[in-house]
A and B are shown apart, each in its own frame.
Chain A
Amino acid sequence: MAMKALDIYKLLPKTNCKKCGYPTCLAFAMKLAAGKAEVEACPDLDPATKALLGGATRPPIRLVQVGVGERAVAVGEEFVLFRHEKTFYHPPGILVQVSDTWPEEQVRSIVETVRDTVVHRVGMDLVLNGVAVRNESGSPDRFAETVALAGGGSALPLVLIADDPASHEAALAVAGHYRPLVHAATGENWQDLAALAKRYGCPLAVRAAGPGALAALARSCADAGAQDLMLDPVPGSIQNYIAVATGIREAAIARTEPALGYPIYLDATRFREIDAALAAGILKYAGIIVAPPLSPATVTAALTLRQNIYTDPQKPIQVTPGVYPINDPGRDAPVLLSVNFSLTYFTLLGYLEASRIPCYLFVVDTEGLSVLTAVAGGKLTATLVADSLRNFGVEELVDHRVLIIPGYAAPLSGKIEDATGWKVMVGPRDAAELAEYLEKEWVA
């Protein structure tokens, strides 16, 4: 079980010697409890205490890295079942599968697509993470050739999928130095694959139906020296995946079964409804998702969902308060009041850009709250609007003195007029109606 900071503190030397890098033993204990520090950092603990604390304070899910270099993907080291409890830290890697029976050109083109696909969203570049090569030819040589064709792991992280240890041996001779994920150790081949993973220092996926069998196999492989493991629970359906993955995650973070404390591997190619499989993996705890070649729509939506779910809920996405010119506004353009909740901002931006009406979006700081919530919570006030008008220099941008406020802020219209001296017009509540509203109502 996880230990609380105070319980850990009782076992520490309490000398505040700072050798661990933290100012006090209590500070070190708190880091340990959060899974953010290593027991080894304390030089004065006896081995028994170290072992006790080590088991209780290491992250409940091991951090496992696939690939090397810039595109390497590290997954695991998660602490919660629901993102609102803290946050999810390591977004799942999505790797696109090719077969060693496919023509060279096809493999090459998919690898290029994976390498070059970028979705730009909210200042971030979202990418696919690598290539999975499946051994369907039955030939170790053919497998190794395709792995080489996929870059051998030097550019993009790889998953090597084969049952036959001889195939893995051939592929690892090509790609073994680039930390490919070896998939998969089963009841039959685990000794050979664990030995290969150990020899090359590669992560290893273990495959078995159900948490019990997975835990047993993971323990065997770890004992054989393969430390960086992933769990493939071979789900029979997408819903079964959600159930099993939830069970594994619960057991891991409650530390009821340490052998389940590894990232989960989801083979999404098993399912016809690939979008549902991707969504399920992203939402529910997958570390590595292997998918068939994906359409542009699927890539965009899946990567966006992944970005959303792995956004830190403790830090709401806010936009910077200020005046945003849209569609090249002039001195007679309308000024639209809004708030710095990103959902509000981006929704408005979308509609306003589409309308092609030149205007200024005047975003005030409501601490990331929506209009409705900000009005109800007293975060959007006439004083704030007046101060912001002045601070952002809105008066210098336009010749008129008319402010359009959101429909939900209508109760504030009189107060805003009094505080600013500007005439206030109440706009619609729904951003979708803004374009029509401006066309009908705005006369500069």
Chain B
Amino acid sequence: MKEGDDVTSNSEEPRSPIQEVRLGATRAEGGTREVSYVIGGWRDLPFTGNRPDRPLVALEVCDDPWLLPPVVRDYVGDLADNPDEWARAAERTYGADLVRLNFTSTKQRGFSAFGEITRTMERVLAATTRPLIVEGSSEPDLDSEVFRRCGEAGEGERLLLGTAEADRYRSVAASALAYGHAVIAQSPIDINLAKQLNILLRETGVPRDRIVIDPYTGALGYGFEYSYSVMERILLAAFAGDADLAMPMISAPADTLSVREVREAAEEDRDAMAVAWEFYTAYSAFVAGASIVCVHHPLTVKKLKEALEA
């Protein structure tokens, strides 16, 4: 290597790019969002070359705070009971690129308030100008109705709808196809299962440019290294030309703020520990190749956005 050589172009073979996926729809695109994003389209290792998109940070809000980690509950206060206000704050106060609306109410035993799903969708869509990630139910018995309502309420908005898994993907896929949304395809930290699910979705009719891979992210210190490496492997498979693994990735760790280190931190250190834990997990996911990371603590959003500019 001579002085002035490009430091990143050592690899010999040309790489295939990551599939482009559009999220959100502006008025011109048939929706009501003020921005839409195209993620993917790059072919260099993260942070080593040019890329047309930028890594996106999503903040999760939910319609029922019953599963909310106490550290978030305490920080957001009354917002936890008002998903639309919370979503507005996520965007305007905390600076999230995307809002991830998690319908945690559907995880309550005996859930049947389907009408509320539609109302919450409408309120949150009205409260935000950014594209929306929507996490529907995780019960096969509820999936069909919940995803139909989420999809219908967001028709034209090109939601990112989750979550499809190997044993329950049809309802999500059907809603995405009927109402024009993209789908999160989650597999349990396994590159082969990720590929398999993408093929299943494609056979159902979901085109490649409407799939985002969620390889499942374990919390820092609780198996995160498996997720980190599976993301790198998926990325390299995509670069090598495997079109069924070339979709952009989302990293959405569910348990990062429930870990012992955060729970047992001294009261005055708890927010700092929560943010550190989420930050290291999320930033590492970007380095491994995630296009979107989803976090729970509002302060993590700001810190991540500053880090991405550093």
Contact = CB atoms under 8 A, between A and B. Distances in A.
B166 interface: yes
B7 A247 contact: yes
Contacts of B200: none
A297 B274 CA distance: 8
B272 to A, nearest CB: 4
Which of B4, B47, B258 has the most CB atoms of chain A within a 10 A radius of its CB? Answer: B47
A298 interface: yes
B189 A370 contact: yes
Nearest to B44: A243
A311 B287 CA distance: 18
Contact of B283 (A84, A279, A297, A311): A279
Interface stretch (A2-10, A11-19, A24-32, A206-214): A206-214
A212 B197 CA distance: 45
A251 B67 CA distance: 48
B46 interface: yes
B226 A279 contact: no
Interface in A230-265: 237-239, 242-244, 246-248, 250-251, 254, 256-257, 260
Contact of A370 (B188, B260, B265, B280): B188
Main secondary structure of the interface of A (DSSP, over half): helix
A313 B225 contact: yes
Contacts of B166: 376
B106 to A, nearest CB: 12
A300 B310 contact: no
A273 B263 contact: no
Interface residues on A, range: 35 or more
B75 interface: no
Nearest to A298: B276
B93 interface: no
A205 interface: no
B3 interface: yes
A350 B263 contact: yes
Interface stretch (A104-112, A385-393, A429-437): A429-437
Given A238-B310, A297-B275, 6 more contacts: A279-B287, A301-B273, A351-B258, A370-B188, A373-B188, A373-B193
24 contacts: A83-B232, A210-B3, A211-B7, A212-B2, A243-B48, A256-B1, A271-B310, A276-B283, A276-B310, A297-B272, A300-B276, A301-B276, A305-B220, A308-B224, A313-B226, A347-B218, A347-B219, A347-B258, A350-B222, A429-B138, A430-B254, A431-B255, A432-B255, A433-B107
